[in-house]
Amino acid sequence: MSATTVQNQQWLYRRHPTGLVGREHYELVSSELDANLAADEVLVAARYISVDPYMRINQSSKPTYNPDPHPLDVVQVAGVVGQVVASRAAGLKEGDWVFGMLGWQTHAKAHASALQKLDPAQAPVSTALGVLGMPGRTAWFGLTESGRPHAGEVVVVSGAAGAVGSLVVQYAKRHGCKVLAVAGGAQKCAWLRDVLGADWAVDYKAHTDADALAATIKQLAGGVDVYFDNVGGMVTDAVIPLINRRARIVICGQISQYSGGLDVAELGPRFLQHMLYQRATIQGMLARDYVHRMDEMIRIVAPWVKAGEIVFEETVVEGFGQLPNALNQLFTGEHRGKLLVKV
């Protein structure tokens, strides 16, 4: 790093994936970043960079939550936790921890208003990418606002071992619900039961089809009052015929469909008659709708985090060079809790 430039590494999004996303859709480039700062600007060095399922949604060729897909040949959009290297902003000094949507790059200049200062004494800074950040917001508001759980109800969570699902399991337990967690693999299921406190954990991979999975869920939990869905596909096919009267189905993610199914829709059994039978509700939600309400969540969840009452597992991949591989890992299921990359 010279006085006025810093060597910056960036992952550029180069090619639209049709199936799984991976290394071949990105290019690692290195360049000089002009480190001169304007007023109120800050230079940030990335420490933790996020990989999230939404990134693959936004690579779909069809309109998604954004009208247009992620543009090619620019840095992959991503949440980043970093440290201030230089600052011309009041309130941010060298060494301070910040969160910002700085993308897959080792360094970034940002206006102070686009950064959120983090207090390492309150919680590990990486939680700004997890339990106290976007995935946590998704879990909290998805469950409380769309799921509206009540004590004694049965909550089924798909993708239960993931960043969002693992929190939903715990928040639903705190609401007094009976929680059935669905995940892939015996190890994840044991963790969900033994560590997270799910009443039941079901390995969907141990079932040949939706009917078999439905039979297991029905035997364990009876009917379903809230279905918090991160996955879609076969798990959803199994759960929907089991909904109780006035069930609430929260569509938080459909990760089983992201690696191609958003471009060309997969076929599945029609099920809308069940909504009619049970006068049930399906509601889609996105974390962005609750950005302005983070204080409501922080007020409740941050003390739980500080008291060590919430399990917020992180799967940390070491090395900036691993970012595309880590993103790919989201869809192959080889992680637990929040997946992030340590620069």
Interface positions with a copy of itself (CB under 8 A): 57, 63-65, 229, 232-233, 236, 251-254, 257, 261-262, 265-286, 289
Q: How far is the CB of 68 from a copy of itself (least distance, A)?
A: 13
Q: How far is the CB of 282 from a copy of itself (least distance, A)?
A: 4
| Closer Cβ to a copy of itself, 16 or 274, answer by number | 274
| Closer Cβ to a copy of itself, 162 or 232, answer by number | 232
Q: How far is the CB of 146 from a copy of itself (least distance, A)?
A: 9
| Closer Cβ to a copy of itself, 279 or 306, answer by number | 279
Q: How far is the CB of 2 from a copy of itself (least distance, A)?
A: 45
| Closer Cβ to a copy of itself, 169 or 280, answer by number | 280
Cα–Cα separations (whole angstroms), residue 131 to 49, 72, 118, 294? 15, 30, 14, 12
Q: How far is the CB of 182 from a copy of itself (least distance, A)?
A: 16
Cα–Cα separations (whole angstroms), residue 83 to 38, 48, 226, 261, 289? 18, 10, 40, 38, 27
Q: How far is the CB of 64 from a copy of itself (least distance, A)?
A: 5
Q: What are phi and psi of 177, to 5 degrees?
A: -90, 160
| Closer Cβ to a copy of itself, 266 or 334, answer by number | 266
d(CA 11, CA 210): 39
Q: Is 29 helix (H, G, I), strand (E, B) or coil?
A: strand
Cα–Cα separations (whole angstroms), residue 111 to 4, 88, 117, 251? 18, 9, 12, 34
| Closer Cβ to a copy of itself, 104 or 228, answer by number | 228
Q: How far is the CB of 224 from a copy of itself (least distance, A)?
A: 14
| Closer Cβ to a copy of itself, 211 or 334, answer by number | 211
- The tokens of 175 are what? 């609401």
d(CA 249, CA 229): 7
d(CA 219, CA 210): 14
Q: How far is the CB of 101 from a copy of itself (least distance, A)?
A: 19
Q: How far is the CB of 55 from a copy of itself (least distance, A)?
A: 14
Inter-residue contact 231 to 250 (CB < 8 Å): no
- The tokens of 212 are what? 């078999």
- How many other C-beta atoms can be found within 10 angstroms of the C-beta atom of residue 298? 17
27 - beta bridge partners? Answer: 12
- DSSP string for 207-236: SSSHHHHHHHHHHHH-SEEEEEESS-THHH
What dihedral angle (degrees, nearest 10) is formed by the CA atoms of 205, 202, 326, 79? 140
| Closer Cβ to a copy of itself, 65 or 293, answer by number | 65
| Closer Cβ to a copy of itself, 221 or 282, answer by number | 282
